[in-house]
Amino acid sequence: MPNGIFSLEGKVALVTGANSGIGRELALALRDAGAKVAIGARRAERNAEVLEQLGPEASAFELDVSDEQSVEKAIAGVAGRYKRLDILINNAGAVNKKSVMELDRSAWDHVMAVNVTGAFLCTKHAARLMKEQGGGKIVNISSVYGLTAPSKGLQVAYTASKHAVIGLTKVNAVELAEYGIQVNAIAPGFFLTEMTADIGGSPMERALIRRTPSGRLGETKDLVGTCIYLVSEASNHVTGMCIAVDGGYVVSDGMERG
């Protein structure tokens, strides 16, 4: 168990969208760092599987982040069981890859509801609890497409939503700083997860590897260190920042390396 400023002993964390991929990896890492972990996601069976991995001190809540009543219920459930909430990871996400000329309004609204409104609602209700406690940590999962845009466009709703998540991070960091609440974001690069499984073995995967200075796609474990830093005492004077974990993708000029 880690000691010192990176320890999460005595802390309580809620991770949304934690029954697969990045969310599950981060939930397990928070537990390993000493936190009691609650997960929130829509699929009860998948929640149960991750809950079994997390152990007896963990809990799971069926959570639709786009529904304010569902958010209130989940956060009240966390407070009821653990009497506090120190860490919120806004990880739940949705994606749609259609052209701006073909994207239905309903599909646009769904991506925005999950990626932006969901982070807003969870922050709203978690921050109220954190304010009463005298502090807390909120980490929003954005994307490199919150800092750039796809080379061929297409992911219009996803890209706009992930830019919005960074804006939400900044404005909430400023407002909540006086209450001892730090709000930061992580922008993952390209990771092979359930959501991006179609990339595996494709020409796009090969192009991404050529484009990324590290010469590889990310593994979910690559996000753990940044997350633990942002939710621990080590980052108490860091707020409103977005850290890209992308193997250098964003800072590269995009030219293929010889």
Please report which helix (H) or strand (E) contains residue 62, including its range: strand 59-62
From the candidates 82, 158, 229, 249, give the one annotated as an active-site residue.
Answer: 158
Two structure tokens written together for 113: 């509801």
Distance between start and end Cα atoms, the chain: 43
Kindly provide the b/e burial profile for residues 213-232, where b requires at least 16 CB atoms within 10 angstroms of the residue's own CB.
Answer: eeeebbebebbbebbbbbbb
In sequence order, what are the residues at sequence separation of 6 or more whose Cβ sits closer than 8 angstroms to the Cβ of residue 175? none
The residue among 71, 15, 85, 27 whose CA lies nearest residue 53 is 27
Complete edge-to-edge strand list for the sheet that includes strand 87-90? 59-62, 36-41, 12-16, 87-90, 136-141, 181-188, 242-245
Q: Is 158 a catalytic residue?
A: yes
Dist. CA 149–CA 156, nearest whole Å: 9
Which are the catalytic amino acids? 158
